[in-house]
Amino acid sequence: MRNTESQVYRDLQKHLDRLPIGYPSTKSGAEIRMLKHLFTPEEARIATQLSMIPEPLNRIYRRVKKSGISIEEFEQLLDHMVDKGAIMITHKGDEKYYSNAMLAVGMFEFQVERLTRDFAEDMLQYIDEAFGEELYRTRIPQLRTIPIEKNIPHEYHISFYDDVRQIVDSVDSPIAVANCVCRQTKDVVGESCSHTDLREACLLFGEGAQLYIDWGVGRPISKEEAIDILGKAQEAGLVLQPANSQQPEFICCCCGDCCGILTTVKRFPRPAELYVTNYYSEVEPTSCTGCEDCVGICQLDALVMVDSVAVVNLDRCIGCGNCVALCPADAIRLHKKEQEVVPPRNTEALYMNILSKKVGRLNMLKIGTRTLLKLKI
């Protein structure tokens, strides 16, 4: 039985590793321990029958009905897995559609307000051991960086996807705010953030917002409240990171202490190459007073002092604009890059781009053909 159970979790690990952001194995077994936190053996077996493409209950049930479970029991099982944050659910009218969730963005974020120390420690180990590199395997990030609005020079045209106020104003669905799961993870293991006490700093839009509200882990807010929260995040020197699409489903407010994205990318010698950002900072040396405030606030360690003058390392600068806002001498200016990067149209396009880069265009076409045949779309 033990071998059978171990194989169930290994099968699920391999299944999840096929997702756009995969789920690689480790020598330590941290990835299996995390699956055991989230899935019973029966649930793990069921999860291997799901796809990254949301499917209705009846379609999924056809793949498992030989096990003898009734469709009513099967629906209850899937709903319980949703409530645990182990799989995804979407709605089309009154019909439910279920799918696998990636670890991040996905299962990890769904554990906010229910983190255990064991899960938090396993997650941090897994990021260090394998998952951090997986996040950047294709060099197409899930998140992008947008600057602090007030620090963009007036002569630059601000595209709507780089304007946090326009992003919030365009939302025509529920908005929720939740505690940052990354900071909560560090709190649970006793390594609290050194940058800020702000915890309620994760904005969600649409169905994800409604899900958090229904779970009781997020609260509904107005657009005005959302802008106010983002203002507090900017004052704390946090990096604003919406999903890397023109229609982001969330905005994270991140620090270099806790954020799995930032802590991972900081280890690379040239983080700027791994980020989607349209801006960068530059110091006017004759105006710099050498106060070093900008060095302390930079979440990517992009500023250093050279002969008592701050210098921006462009290999590390992601254009968040925090140093511009803080500088008491107005010695730092935000510049727009010559070539603007336009994010994917929506979340679906983003993950199709990532998957295509991961498996190759030819294999992507094969996957698409098999998927269409299986789902009869």
Sequence ranges of the domains in the chain: 2-112, 136-343, 347-377
CA proximity to 147, closest of 61, 261, 240, 272: 240
User: 374 pLDDT exceeds 50?
Assistant: no
Q: How are beta strands 279-283 and 250-254 bridged, if at all?
A: unpaired
User: 79 pLDDT exceeds 50?
Assistant: yes
Task: Out of 3.30.565.10, 3.90.1150.10, 2.70.70.10, 1.10.10.10, select the CATH number for domain 2-112.
Answer: 1.10.10.10
Average pLDDT taken over every residue of the chain: 90
End-to-end CA distance of the chain: 39
What is the model's pLDDT at position 10? 97
Whether 2-112 and 136-343 share one fold: the answer is: no
H or E element in which residue 229 lies: helix 223-235
Each residue's pLDDT tens digit, 180-221? 999 999 999 999 998 899 999 999 999 999 999 999 999 999
H or E element in which residue 56 lies: strand 55-56
CATH topology for 136-343 is Alpha-Beta Plaits (3.30.70)
d(CA 124, CA 260): 8
pLDDT bracket for residue 121 (50, 70, 90): very high
What is the model's pLDDT at position 61? 95
Which whole number is the average pLDDT over 265-275?
90
User: 325 pLDDT exceeds 80?
Assistant: yes
Cis peptide, bond prior to residue 105, ω within 30 of zero: yes
Which whole number is the average pLDDT over 264-280?
90
d(CA 297, CA 332): 13
Residue 84: phi and psi, rounded to 5, are -85, -5
Residue 68: phi and psi, rounded to 5, are 100, -5
pTM: 0.90
Each residue's pLDDT tens digit, 3-20? 587 899 999 999 999 999
190: region left, alpha or beta (phi > 0 left; psi from -120 to 50 alpha): left
Each residue's pLDDT tens digit, 215-248? 999 999 999 999 999 989 988 999 999 999 999 9
Cα–Cα distances in Å, from 315 out to 151, 234, 280?
A: 21, 23, 10
What is the model's pLDDT at position 255? 93
User: 153 pLDDT exceeds 80?
Assistant: no
User: How far is C-alpha 180 from the geometric centre of its chain's CA atoms?
Assistant: 11
